[in-house]
């Protein structure tokens, strides 16, 4: 009986994550010619999220800052080959809305901007500025 309950719980969790991720849109980050960074202004509502993708090389330094009027607006960073639903290398709601570090591997990193569940359930809106630089 416990096995069936565990399987049911895992399936419900999988469908919950899939439904949450289904509301995300994806955008590729491009820096202006000759620049090592960019500033992106956008907004999300409720369970919407944005997955910003960015190609980098191992050893580069990346800095990400999120400025928002909504205190439930955060971002996560995923290493190449991972994305929402996988383990994040940076978790904004635990570590804050500022990241700076040396990237461990070459590939496409994903920065996911989202609202915490409490705000998403209330269909709150977050206007934000995401600043990204890579050197």
Q: Is 93 within a domain?
A: yes
Containing domain of residue 84, as a range?
A: 24-134
E-strand ranges in 29-97 read 37-45, 49-56, 61-68, 73-78, 90-91
Q: Which two tokens stand for residue 121?
A: 């359930």
Confidence band of 19 (pLDDT split at 50, 70, 90): very low
Q: Is 37 within a domain?
A: yes
Q: Is 102 within a domain?
A: yes
Q: Is 106 within a domain?
A: yes
- Helical segments of the chain, H only: 2-22, 92-95, 117-121
pLDDT at site 23 = 79
d(CA 110, CA 80): 8
Contact 112, 49 (CB under 8 A): yes
Q: In what order do the strands lie in the sheet with 73-78?
A: 24-28, 49-56, 107-115, 73-78, 90-91
Q: Output the pTM of the full model.
A: 0.83
User: How many domains does the chain fold into?
Assistant: 1
- Looking at the DSSP bridge assignments, the partners of residue 130 are 40, 66
CA atoms within 13 A on the CB side of 128: 27
Cβ neighbours, 10 Å, residue 68: 19
- Mean pLDDT in residue range 91-101: 97
Q: Is 17 within a domain?
A: no
Q: Is 19 within a domain?
A: no
CATH number of the domain within which 50 lies: 2.60.120.380
Q: Is 59 within a domain?
A: yes
For the chain, what percent of residues have pLDDT higher than 70? 84
Contact 134, 54 (CB under 8 A): yes
User: Residue 17: is its pLDDT beyond 60?
Assistant: no
């Amino acid at each position: 009986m416990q096995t069936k309950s565990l399987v049911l719980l895992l399936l419900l969790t999988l469908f919950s994550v899939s439904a949450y991720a289904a509301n995300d849109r994806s955008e590729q980050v491009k820096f202006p010619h000759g620049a090592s960074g960019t500033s992106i202004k956008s907004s999300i509502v409720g369970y919407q999220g944005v997955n910003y993708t960015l190609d980098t090389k191992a050893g580069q330094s990346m800095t990400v800052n999120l400025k928002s009027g909504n205190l439930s607006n955060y971002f996560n960073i995923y290493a190449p080959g991972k994305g929402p639903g996988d383990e994040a290398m940076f978790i904004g709601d635990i570590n804050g809305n500022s990241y700076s570090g040396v990237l461990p591997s070459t590939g496409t990193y994903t920065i996911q901007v989202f609202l915490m569940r409490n705000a998403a359930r209330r269909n709150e809106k977050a206007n934000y500025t995401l600043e990204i630089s890579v050197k």
